[in-house]
Amino acid sequence: MSVIENYPALRPSLLLDFANSGRVHPLIQCTRASTATCIGPDGKLRTLAANVPRIHHDLNGKCLGLLIEESRTNVLTYATDMAQGWTKGSAAQWSTTTGFLSSGSHGRVLGLRNFTISPDAASLYNTSVPVTAGARHVFSIYARLLPDSPSNRVIFRVRQSDGNNIYSSPLILTDRWTRYSFALTIGEGITFAAAIFGTPGDTDIVNCEFACGQFEQGEFATTFIPTVNAAVTRAADLLSIDYTLPSIGAVVASIAGLATANTANAYLWTALNPADTGADHAYAFFSGANNRTSWWVNKGGVGQSGGNVTGRPLNVGLSFDAIAKTAALAAGSLIAQDTSRPRDFPVNLSQIRLGRSVVNNGFLGGCLSRLAIYSGQITDAQLKRLTA
């Protein structure tokens, strides 16, 4: 039997392999004070009850892992029934179906035929939604072409309550359901905005379908939040597992489906002492301000900064030795060791929070595909191999 070079002989003492198993480990604790949606293995949208963790897939049914998101509010009403919430021009024709991307019911798809920009009344627009002046917002929507569409080009615009179009972007639609998202900054003094779809030119005609629109405050789109006649807030995913971090070992995390537009800190994991979270904890995170990956340790209330690697890699490993007081951070060939002072790790970290900080912010905004904890010495070469 061949031996893989630099691969540790140790097996993980804890392995949470969400992406390959498609399941949630029975020891995972989940608190979320609302329902929430995700894409199932059939590539369709589904709604899960409050306090149920979400295993998320892409639209092709590939499992991405355990979904972890912050709280968000969809202020776009009738997102689950666009035939009620949107207005079309007289030249376009309605075509609605039920159960879009759904294991249950998520309202009706809005189909448009003879959809064009000329005359202006033929465009598609939603009723104005409340927005926060000066803040970043994201509009997102699912769309696809119908088989007999003469053209595949659509223009998306956002019009503020002062009549100005503050955002305009062309879309090239395909025959596969795709989610499109657009980030924009609302002007000062603006209280409402509307989303408008049209075509690039007077002669362009598009036959297409839209579904599940969302307008939310933030830097990036989150999973769809169904609404009817009022805005709806999805609560944050609070996920954890009771497990004591070893005094010598490593934590290796893999992610997928990360919201790359996130410019804030995003945490992979946090290990803490539930009796005194401020005094003793350790974590690995993506630093939004610097576009880098870092780690941090607190022992007895004394903070110790860690090393950094560039970017937001899909695989990140942190090895540590509380006895020798050493640590290293690796992502494939990248490795960082901060030797300016000892890495004094606490030995009483008995809870691991997934995709969030000690104070329940900095949510991952994506999927934790795999988390493996090793008990025992992991060399730098082995850590790089584990994160390759």
Q: Based on the number of CB atoms within 10 Å of its own CB, is 18 exposed (0-12), middle (13-18) or buried (19 or more)?
A: buried
Which of the listed ranges 23-37, 71-85, 159-173, 174-188 does the model predict with the highest average pLDDT? 23-37
φ, ψ for residue 245, nearest 5 deg: -65, 135
β partners of residue 290: none
- Structure confidence at residue 246 (pLDDT): 94
Mean pLDDT along residues 47-57: 97
Which tokens go with 118?
């000329």
3-class secondary structure for 288-355? CCCCEEEEEEEECCEEEEEEEEECCCCEEEEEEECCCCEEEEEECCEEECCCCCCCCCCCCCCEEEEC
Q: What is the pLDDT of residue 99?
A: 56
Q: How confident is the model at residue 116 (pLDDT cuts 50, 70, 90)?
A: low
**139 close to 171: Cβ distance less than 8 angstroms:** no
Rounded Cα distance between 65 and 370, Å, is: 7
Is a pLDDT exceeding 90 seen at residue 283?
A: yes
pLDDT in tens, 127-138: 778 999 999 999
Residue 103 CA to residue 293 CA, distance in Å, equals: 37
Residues 6+ positions from 110 with CB-CB distance below 8 Å: 82, 83, 86, 94, 96, 124, 209, 210, 211
Provide the pLDDT for residue 92.
65
Q: pLDDT grade, residue 20 (50/70/90)?
A: very high
Question: Between 33 and 210, whose confidence is greater?
Answer: 33
Q: Mean of the pLDDT values across residues 30-57? A: 95
pLDDT in tens, 302-326: 887 777 888 899 999 999 988 888 8
DSSP 34-100: S-EEEE-TTS-EEEE-TT--EEEE-TT--EEEEEE---EEE--TTTTBHHHHEEE-TTSEEEEEE-T
pLDDT bin (cut points 50, 70, 90) of residue 339 is low
Whole-number pLDDT of residue 102: 55
Is the four-CA dihedral 222, 224, 225, 228 of positive or negative sign? Answer: positive
Q: What residues pair up with 179 in beta bridges, in sequence order?
A: 142
Single-letter code of the amino acid located at 99: G
- Which residues, listed in sequence order, are joined to residue 39 by a DSSP beta bridge? 45
DSSP state of 382: H
Flag whether pLDDT at 353 surpasses 70. Answer: yes
Give me the pLDDT at residue 3, please. 47
Give per-residue pLDDT as tens, 147-204. 888 888 888 888 888 888 888 888 899 988 899 999 999 989 999 888 888 777 666 7
